[in-house]
Amino acid sequence: MVSQPWARPEWHATIDSTNTRLLADPRPGAVVVAEHQSAGSGRRGRQWVAPAGTALAVSVALRSPSAERIGWVPLVAGLAVVRALAAHDFALGTLLKWPNDVLVPEADRPPGVTDALAPRPGKVCGILAQARGEVIVLGAGLNIDQGAEQLPAPGATSWRLALGATSLPHGVRRTWLTGYLHCLGELLAQLDEDLPAVAATYLAHCDTVGRQVQVDLPGGERSTGVATAVSADGGLVLQTPEGEVTHHAGDVVHLRAVGSGSRFPS
């Protein structure tokens, strides 16, 4: 896959859904951005809702890579979010929960900081990938400026709350977007050229491998074991009491850290 040339972003103050707009006209390279979605959605049919002006929804369209690499597309989208958040002048350190939830880890509270301004851990961004023919639409929903009472779900946070800040710098949305698109384009270009390097970078930011986890599968079943690796096609490898299994879809719950071994099988 060659480096993705993105078109000039199409900005909306409000829209029903950035993914829906691109799925209706899936032109590779197109970018749709909105500061509010009236009908945003997440994985497994969940709604993604945020008050106007407090979040950013970004969807891009790209040509589907080879079958061996397609499972990595949503994973590298999460990694691009992490890289772009870290690179900004008002940087935010984040980790990934497989496959692509972007999490703010718990941090020590600085001396003298009140509860209201204590850094708040939680999920700050999610990714939704949807296919239309030979095109994949990748949506990222980043919580930016919500207060605690405005968060979409328990366990969520926003960029501002994670920093324990009262405000973020002017222009933070456009600066982050520029970095995200740059990082995403670079990572997509690497998929066919050097997958082991992409995998190593992903694993360096992944908080799932090395943990006892529970995977809630799409059919309603659950799988519990130690996450030992990410497979060559992007699946999560679990060591369970019944043996080794690989899951390519599901919601992961982190239970506890147990150490890690080989994270990327050859």
More confident residue, 262 or 161: 161
The residue count of the chain comes to 266
Residue 1 lies in a domain: no
User: Residue 262: its pLDDT value, please?
Assistant: 44
Q: Are residues 123 and 247 in the same domain?
A: no
32-65 tens-digit pLDDT = 999 999 876 655 556 656 788 899 999 999 999 9
Q: Are residues 159 and 53 in the same domain?
A: yes
Residue 262 lies in a domain: no
Q: Last residue of a domain, which of 203, 219, 237?
A: 203
pLDDT surpassing 50 at residue 205: yes
Residue 4 lies in a domain: no
Q: Last residue of a domain, which of 203, 227, 249?
A: 203
Q: Look up the domain containing 69 and give its range.
A: 10-203
3-38 tens-digit pLDDT = 568 999 999 999 999 999 999 999 999 999 999 998
User: Residue 260: its pLDDT value, please?
Assistant: 46
Q: Are residues 44 and 116 in the same domain?
A: yes
Phi and psi dihedrals of 228, rounded to 5?
Answer: -105, -20
Strands, DSSP E only, in 24-134? 31-34, 55-63, 95-97, 101-104, 122-132
Q: How far is CA 204 from CA 17, 19, 249, in A?
A: 32, 29, 21
Q: Are residues 87 and 171 in the same domain?
A: yes
User: Residue 111: its pLDDT value, please?
Assistant: 62
216-250 tens-digit pLDDT = 998 889 999 999 999 999 999 999 999 999 999 99
| Domain containing residue 224: CATH number | 2.30.30.100
| CA pair distance 139, 58, nearest whole angstrom | 6
Q: Are residues 141 and 242 in the same domain?
A: no
| CA pair distance 102, 213, nearest whole angstrom | 17
Q: Are residues 185 and 237 in the same domain?
A: no
User: Residue 265: its pLDDT value, please?
Assistant: 44
Contact between 62 and 23 under an 8 Å Cβ cutoff? The reply is no
111-164 tens-digit pLDDT = 655 666 778 899 999 999 999 999 999 999 999 999 999 988 889 999 999 998
Q: Are residues 193 and 214 in the same domain?
A: no
Q: Are residues 192 and 92 in the same domain?
A: yes
**Residue 165 CA from chain centroid, whole number:** 22
pLDDT grade, residue 89 (50/70/90)?
A: confident
Residue 263 lies in a domain: no
User: Which helix (DSSP H) or strand (DSSP E) does residue 199 occupy?
Assistant: helix 195-204
User: Residue 167: its pLDDT value, please?
Assistant: 84
User: Which helix (DSSP H) or strand (DSSP E) does residue 141 occupy?
Assistant: strand 135-143
| CA pair distance 120, 196, nearest whole angstrom | 33
Tell me the residue type at 33: V
Q: Are residues 42 and 92 in the same domain?
A: yes
Residue 2 lies in a domain: no
User: Residue 109: its pLDDT value, please?
Assistant: 61
User: Residue 112: its pLDDT value, please?
Assistant: 59
User: Residue 42: its pLDDT value, please?
Assistant: 56
| Domain containing residue 69: CATH number | 3.30.930.10
Residue 232 lies in a domain: yes
Residue 224 lies in a domain: yes
User: Residue 249: its pLDDT value, please?
Assistant: 92
Work out the burial of residue 12: count CB atoms within 10 Å of its CB; fewer than 13 is exposed, 13-18 middle, 19 or more buried: middle
Percent of the chain whose pLDDT exceeds 90: 71
Q: Are residues 112 and 217 in the same domain?
A: no
User: Residue 137: its pLDDT value, please?
Assistant: 97
Under 8 Å CB-to-CB from 64, ≥6 apart: which residues? 70, 73, 131, 134, 135, 136
- Looking at the structure of the chain, the number of domains it has is 2
Q: Are residues 161 and 221 in the same domain?
A: no
Residue 154 lies in a domain: yes
Q: Are residues 70 and 104 in the same domain?
A: yes
Q: What is the pTM of this model?
A: 0.90
pLDDT surpassing 70 at residue 108: no
